[in-house]
């Protein structure tokens, strides 16, 4: 049985692929797809070691804070009826 602990974004968009972009919009979209603090930490470590962009680091830290505090992401906060 496959392990269910890994975040699907790690397989589909590993840090070196997602964070290689210079465009913030796709990076932020990828960050919103992260479902675990451990995943966010892996991407933050990669960003710190390679590109060191303040805006990307801030977005990753904010996502970690949302996950830790149990806050919904943007899609859940404003449901479409």
16 occurs within a structural domain: yes
Q: What is the pTM of this model?
A: 0.80
pLDDT per position as a tens digit, 21-61: 999 999 999 999 999 999 999 999 999 999 999 999 999 99
CA 33 to CA 4: how far, in whole Å?
16
Give me the domain span that covers residue 52.
Answer: 10-73
14 occurs within a structural domain: yes
* C-beta separation of 68 from 37 below 8 A: yes
59 occurs within a structural domain: yes
Q: How many domains does the chain have?
A: 1
């Amino acid at each position: 049985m496959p392990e269910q602990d890994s975040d699907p974004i790690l397989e589909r968009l590993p840090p070196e692929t997602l964070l290689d972009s210079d465009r913030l919009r796709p990076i932020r979209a990828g960050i919103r797809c992260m479902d675990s603090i451990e995943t966010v930490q892996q991407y933050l470590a990669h960003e710190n070691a390679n590109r060191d962009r303040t805006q990307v680091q801030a977005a990753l830290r904010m996502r970690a804070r949302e996950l830790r505090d149990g806050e919904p992401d943007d899609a859940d906060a404003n449901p479409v009826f």
